[in-house]
Amino acid sequence: MSDTTRPGEFELIARYFAPIAGAGGLGLVDDAGLLKPARGYETVVTTDALVAGEHFFADDPAASIARKALAVNLSDLAAKGAKPEGFVLSLALPHGWTEAWLADFAQGLARIAGEGACPLIGGDTVSTPGPLILSITAFGSVPAGRMVPRSGAKPGDVILVSGTIGDGALGLQAHGPGKLAWVARLSEEHRHFLADRYLHPQPRLALATALQVHASAAMDVSDGLVGDLAKLLKASKAGAEIDLDMVPLSAAARAAIMADPALAELAWTGGDDYEILCTASEREYLSLIVAAEAAGVALVAIGRVTDEGAVNYREKGRARSFAQGSFAHF
């Protein structure tokens, strides 16, 4: 039986989503949106689905869920050197949804869409007896032939990563239920920092142009640095030498690892960082670092690409291996 106290599908769209739609959304009254790539540009497309209980906690703030859903797509666009142009949202609401929840969700979505200059242009809203499910497909544009692929790394290239690594995976444990002993040993500031990095990823859109100009390969770090590097190298048919001591860690992550040294492996393999992993030639990598710094993002060299073969990790001068390289969806 339908709930007549809540808006129907079309009223829901008009009330919560039409106000944040861009011109390409045609007022969200049509069956499709409209994008117009500029002459000489190509369209980059990416999509991500998130399921309550799998990718976020069902009781996470609605605005945070919305932010993360779009931010992970914007992170993919950034890694390709693309400028966001718009996105579509598919939202499967569980039977117990409330207007207050949806209003907060729409507010959070509007905020990240504004920050990323990526307007809503369409989508679909349905009801489900299961958990909340949302899927976003985002569109970006890049000058023809300038998209940065995952497969472009060459032997001799320098491997770099943006920001800090491990905060997302550590933040999941700091934010989630059943707090572990190491969480209690952190300062309130460090606990908050890590939880915020998990809840509210910061897509590195400011790096897009620098990657276009200087990078040979790039992808975002969503499933863990070790696992995602393996994907990039497999696509590039290459190997690597990595100095784990060079992997940038935040003060909060360092404090967590001091509280429990075993967390170092989680930081390198756990995922949810949404930083940029990229490669650049010996000739270009310093220019890439400088361009990134000018854009307000730190890039740090952590190793080099080698001929096809193994990825060799070293920590404090000794070889290091990992039981599991990254988060696995299946």
Q: Which residues are annotated as a binding site for ATP?
A: 123-124, 150, 222
Residue 306 neighbours by CB distance under 10 Å: 17
Residue 224 neighbours by CB distance under 10 Å: 28
- Annotated binding residues for Mg(2+), written as ranges, equal 31, 46-48, 76, 124, 220, 223
Q: Report yes or no: 165 and 275 within 8 Å, Cβ to Cβ.
A: yes
Which residue, 251, 254, 252, 232, is CA-closest to 242? Answer: 232
Cα separation, 165 vs 230, whole angstroms: 16
Burial class (CB in 10 A: 0-12, 13-18, 19+), 47: middle
- Annotated binding residues, written as ranges, equal 31, 46-48, 55, 76, 123-124, 150, 220, 222-223, 272, 327
Cα separation, 54 vs 50, whole angstroms: 7
Residue 179 neighbours by CB distance under 10 Å: 12
Strands (E), 144-251: 158-162, 217-221, 239-243
DSSP-assigned letter for residue 316: T
Q: Report yes or no: 6 and 99 within 8 Å, Cβ to Cβ.
A: yes
Interacting residues of 176 by C-beta distance below 8 A, sequence separation 6+: 57
- Annotated binding residues for substrate, written as ranges, equal 55, 272, 327
